[in-house]
Chains A and B, each alone.
Chain A
Amino acid sequence: MEVRIWRGKAEGAFSSYHVPVRDNQTILDVVTEIQREQEPALAYRFACRVGVCGSCAMTVNGKPRWTCRTHVTRVAHEGVLTIEPLRNLPRIKDLVCDMGDFFQKWQKAGGKHSGSLTRADKPALVDITNPARVTANAAIECINCAICYSACDVVAWDKDYLGPAALNRAWTLVNDERHSEREETFDKSFGEGGCGSCHSQGNCTRHCPVEISPSESIAGLKRAAFSGLPKMDGN
């Protein structure tokens, strides 16, 4: 199989490699094999290799994907793989992006959890049947892979837009009874470049590898502009 991999930073070119096809081979397996056997200087990120850490996202044949859980047979087009870094993030080297903007926007969207209890207090008892908790749980499993951020066209043309992941995070906190700054997070998520900038195109939801719907979370924030913050007593 032919594998074309981006080499360089913003300026660069594709280099071609040939890798044997193997059973149950993932894209990350292919990149790792090339780095170990053919191109030791190839830069890429990974950590867990099992779809938990969100480190190994890349653009594969034009679409952002988590490479450790993407099988070659699912995405290879006529025996060719084209692998690039994620879109919408500055390129550092080869397949590695600078994630700085992505995580700073989490902070800008009020994504930092702020508890009101001290270590002397008993742990908060959270009612898992509370509708707000159910809503938060639906969006909570984000692995910070930046695939939604890469897939989003609004991020591509508006560099101030906070992006789907940061707003999805804000929505979980707005629905989290343990978060002591729900109002502040809500205000930040509606700041300049916040959820009002979303065009509801849905690319984030379509590409999210863990099947979260940031579109739904952003729609929730927009609805809350009219209905107010979600109630915590379940009513």
Chain B
Amino acid sequence: MERTLFKAQRISAILLAPWVLIHLGLILYAVRGGLTAAEILDRTQGSLFWGLFYGSFVLLVTVHAPIGLRNILREWTPLKSDNINPMCFMFGLFILVMGIRAVAAVVG
């Protein structure tokens, strides 16, 4: 399992890197242009592109973040793997649900 998680975290990191840059660029563009929340939503709602972009973003974070959190908890807390694994699984589910909810609100 460790090897699979190791690979999943590395691959998700590689894919997330350009996604994060695009996301940051988008924020800078939107803020610089002085767009209001309503104007932004007007452009994103109904957009298949932004739906796919942020949907895949959420999936990648759902894979990447819980594995990293698992490593941190294992190294820095006295918690045992038996407790850490379900905690991080639940954390991943939480990110997934909240992320999908947010994407649905932006593009739905």
Contact = CB atoms under 8 A, between A and B. Distances in A.
- The judgment on whether A and B are partners is yes
Interface of A: 157-158, 160, 187, 190-192, 194, 196-197, 222, 225-226
9 contacts: A158-B75, A190-B3, A190-B6, A191-B2, A196-B5, A196-B6, A197-B71, A226-B7, A226-B10
B2 A222 contact: no
Contact of B3 (A157, A160, A187): A187
B2 A157 contact: no
Contact of B75 (A187, A194, A197): A197
A197 B3 CA distance: 11
- Chain B interface helix/strand/loop/mixed: helix
B47 interface: no
A222 B7 CA distance: 9
A222 B10 CA distance: 10
Interface in B18-75: 71, 74-75
Interface residues of B, number: 11
A196 B3 CA distance: 8
B75 A225 contact: no
B75 A157 contact: yes
Given A225-B7, A226-B7, A190 B75 contact: no
Contact of A190 (B2, B10, B71): B2
Nearest to A192: B2
Nearest to B76: A157
Interface of B: 2-3, 5-7, 10, 71, 74-76, 81
A225 B81 contact: no
Contacts of B10: 226
Given A196-B71, A197-B71, A226-B7, 13 more contacts: A158-B75, A160-B74, A190-B2, A190-B6, A192-B2, A194-B2, A196-B2, A196-B3, A196-B5, A197-B75, A222-B6, A225-B3, A225-B7
Nearest to B81: A192
Contacts of A190: 2-3, 6
A158 B74 CA distance: 8
A188 to B, nearest CB: 10
Contacts of B71: 196-197
A86 to B, nearest CB: 22
A196 B5 CA distance: 9
Contacts of B5: 196
A157 B72 CA distance: 12
Contacts of A187: 3
A25 B75 CA distance: 42
Max chain A Cβ within 10 angstroms of own Cβ: one of B5, B6, B71, B74: B6
